[in-house]
């Protein structure tokens, strides 16, 4: 037994346990119980987190960078810097997210990110004090010229099986999330093939009408990328992709709950529509996250950050949001309690991304990735694979 962690409360997050004991062995959760139900073995190492609330480690399935670094940059110090920042904000695993760039730059970034993922999988990389990458989110280049956001138009490509295969090979099969506009010619074939390979196909950066969105879902899409942003607006006679994202129970949907990308009232309406099972919090964070005002990189783009707002040529360009702040914002914007809000950053992204059963929860057999929170959701301590920093 590595250690036993005690706290005031535990949210799995699907159930609540008062005065829990979590038994950790070989970096995994062996079991958990209430203190009054379990005898602590003599000589066991007990870490008492006192009045903290234990929850699963947060999972960010859409993040471009942080701490002054972008996940696509080649510098050796880039990913470690991003991962240390994430760790401080309760994120124990993440999906490094690309932004549209030239094919050569994208292929090189995919190869580097694949290497980082494989170092973790093969035990060749120390993740103490850092979040770990679980897979790659390929955002672009298969997106709409009408809804590109800040993705450079010159680098957008029509979706083809040949180009998807090039990206897949460069990533050595580690693409786990793909954002695509379903209305594009060739999109249906790519969606079908990506879904067959186990990729979470997400509809986004799209001007799809209802018919095109429904076609994408039929082909295998099961998620929506930063709902409302870079997406055809809702029309009461032609609800389009946004109507499908909000109403179709087959889709999970992510939202950037920073109060900048989406008004707090709309965040509340989104949560009412998708509910506690299908809503996913993401940050869409850039290199500027955790940094002062200034100029930073987003892929091949330069972004300006002033007072928490990232822009490029006047358009929103990612965020400086952290996932723990997104959880607290849900509590503030929608009046949800902490246990409900935590679901949107743990079990929901795990399920949306198609991670193995019970990931994103505190459950026997899963990695001991947890966060100790205060009553209002502030991060007190982050635990990766049972290691307490």
Tokens of 175: 């693409």
Residues 6+ away with beta carbon under 8 Å from 284: 62, 63, 64, 97, 226, 256, 261, 318, 319, 321
Contacts 24+ apart (CB under 8 A), 88-91: 88/379, 88/382, 89/58, 89/322, 89/323, 89/324, 89/325, 89/379, 90/57, 90/58, 90/323, 90/324, 90/371, 90/373, 90/379, 90/382, 91/57, 91/58, 91/59, 91/60, 91/131, 91/322, 91/323, 91/382
Q: Which positions are catalytic?
A: 284
Dmax (CA) of the chain: 68
Distance CA 378, CA 324 (A): 7
- Indicate the SS3 state at residue 366: coil
Straight-line distance from the first to the last Cα atom of the chain, in angstroms, rounded to the nearest whole number = 18
């Amino acid at each position: 037994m590595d250690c036993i962690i005690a706290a005031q409360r535990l949210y799995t997050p699907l159930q609540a346990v008062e005065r829990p004991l979590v038994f950790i062995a070989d970096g995994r959760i062996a079991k958990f119980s209430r203190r009054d139900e379990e005898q602590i073995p003599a000589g066991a190492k007990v870490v008492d987190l006192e009045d903290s609330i234990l929850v699963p480690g947060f999972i960010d399935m859409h993040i471009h960078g942080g701490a002054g670094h972008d996940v696509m940059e080649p510098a050796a110090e880039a990913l470690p810097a991003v991962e240390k920042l994430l760790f401080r904000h309760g994120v124990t695993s993440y999906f490094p997210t690309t932004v549209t760039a030239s094919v050569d730059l994208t292929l090189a970034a995919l190869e580097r990110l694949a290497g980082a993922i494989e170092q973790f999988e093969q035990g060749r990389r120390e993740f103490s004090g850092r979040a770990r990458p679980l897979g790659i989110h390929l955002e672009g280049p298969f997106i709409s010229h009408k809804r590109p956001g800040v993705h450079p138009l010159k680098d957008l490509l029509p979706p083809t099986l040949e180009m998807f295969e090039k990206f897949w090979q460069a990533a050595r099969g580690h693409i786990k999330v793909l954002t695509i506009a379903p209305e594009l010619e060739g999109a249906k074939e790519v969606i079908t093939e990506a879904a067959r390979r186990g990729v979470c196909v997400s509809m986004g950066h799209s001007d799809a009408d209802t018919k095109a969105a429904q076609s994408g879902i039929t082909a295998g899409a099961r998620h929506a990328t930063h709902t409302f942003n870079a997406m055809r607006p809702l029309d009461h006679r032609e609800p389009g992709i946004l109507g499908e994202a909000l109403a179709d129970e087959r889709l999970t949907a992510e939202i950037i709950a920073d109060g900048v990308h989406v008004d707090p009232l709309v965040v509340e309406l989104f949560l009412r529509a998708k509910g506690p099972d299908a809503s996913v919090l993401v940050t869409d964070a850039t290199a500027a996250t955790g940094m002062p005002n200034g100029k930073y990189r987003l892929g091949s783009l330069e972004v300006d950050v002033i007072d928490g707002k990232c822009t490029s040529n006047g358009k929103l360009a990612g965020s400086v949001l952290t996932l723990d702040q997104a959880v607290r914002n849900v509590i503030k914007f929608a009046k949800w309690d902490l246990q409900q809000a935590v679901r949107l950053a743990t079990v929901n992204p795990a399920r949306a991304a198609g991670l193995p059963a019970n990931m994103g929860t505190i459950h026997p057999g899963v990695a001991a990735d947890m966060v100790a929170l205060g009553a209002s959701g502030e991060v007190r301590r982050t635990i990766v694979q049972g290691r307490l920093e």
